[in-house]
Amino acid sequence: MTDKLRVRVPATTANLGPGFDALGLALDLWNEAEFTVQADNRIIVRLTGEGADVLPSDEHNLIAQAALHVFALADEPPPGLQIDCRNRIPLASGMGSSAAAVLTGVLGANALLGGRFDQQALLKLAVQIEGHPDNVAPALLGGLVVCLADGEGVHARQLPPLENRNPINITLVLPEFDFPTQGARSVLPAQVDRSDAVFNLSRAVLVAEALRTGDLDLLGTAMEDRLHQPYRLSLIPGALGAMEAAKSAGAAAVALSGAGPSLAAFSAQHNPAIGEAMQRAFAAAGLPARVFELMPSQAGAKVVNLRD
């Protein structure tokens, strides 16, 4: 059993338009944390990067909380820990920061226990802590993932890309707007029309196929939604204008990333004009915005022992 290890977990973009709570994609933007076992019983979390000035630095940190869940499940007393975090995923952004934190704690604790639990058990626990699977599953597995959680557990499958898939660039634009996931869920209707359900079902399948094959024309056709985006976009100043600006600048498709407030624009290559156009649209609504130029990541979370 090692007493020092590193965990790397990628950002994710979930929902992907019509794939509400079912589709997610890992992104090449990574949080890292080093776990070091300490002689005393304290848990100390040291933070740099995103959220370093607001996140707890003790056992109340979400990484530490997730780790404690694993030790409790294993019926083992937790050791003292120092967790050194380098956060690159913005908080409350729609880019999977909480799922990354949960997975970091779960995977780190499991490795300290010598790999007591298998991947499926860890996925189930992480989803129980996070509340839904569409960020957790792609962050753990990598790539494009379809997932569901039911009374039997969590079912997740990576949809491998074609070997010769056309490149996909993702321009993620994050406005400076407080839009927590819980609030974003509260605006959704409890029931939907059958026609809206059918509308989303057919398009979700096509979105998955478009991302798997790199068919951006198909993605542009299918990336529509009636279950969550209409209710959320209207609450984010400038979001609708930013979506139109992205398409005018050359994006094939645009969607809310997760619950927002960030938007994900898909294109065949890096095109700075897309992010700049979206920034201008948000600025016109009074919101500064940051741009992240990203690629999908086929790799998921990884644990590296630093001492053998």
Position 158 scores a pLDDT of: 96
Mean pLDDT of 222-238: 95
Mean pLDDT of 260-287: 97
Tens-digit pLDDT profile for residues 194-208:
999 999 999 999 999
Assign residue 94 a region (left: φ > 0; alpha: ψ between -120 and 50; beta: otherwise).
left
Position 93 scores a pLDDT of: 94
Strand partners, 134: none
Strand partners, 157: 146
Which of 24-33, 77-86, 161-170, 211-220 shows the lowest per-residue confidence on average (mean pLDDT)? Answer: 161-170
Position 46 scores a pLDDT of: 97
Tens-digit pLDDT profile for residues 71-95:
999 999 999 999 999 999 999 999 9
Write down the residue that tokens 């490149």 correspond to: 167
Percent of the chain with pLDDT over 70: 99
Average pLDDT, the chain: 95
Reported pTM:
0.94
Domains present along the chain, CATH in parentheses:
4-159+296-305 (3.30.230.10), 169-294 (3.30.70.890)
Radius of gyration of the chain (CA): 19
Interhelix angle 62-73/119-130, nearest 10 degrees: 130
Mean pLDDT of 198-227: 96
Backbone angles phi, psi at 145, to 5 degrees: -130, 135
Backbone angles phi, psi at 132, to 5 degrees: -155, 155
Q: Which two tokens stand for residue 282?
A: 């948000």
Residue 308: pLDDT above 70? no
Amino acid identity at 97: S
Buried b (16+ CB within 10 A) or exposed e, 233-265: beebbbbbbbbebbbebebbbbbbbbbbbbbbb
* Band (179; pLDDT cuts 50, 70, 90): confident
CB 241 within 8 A of CB 285: yes
Mean pLDDT of 131-148: 96
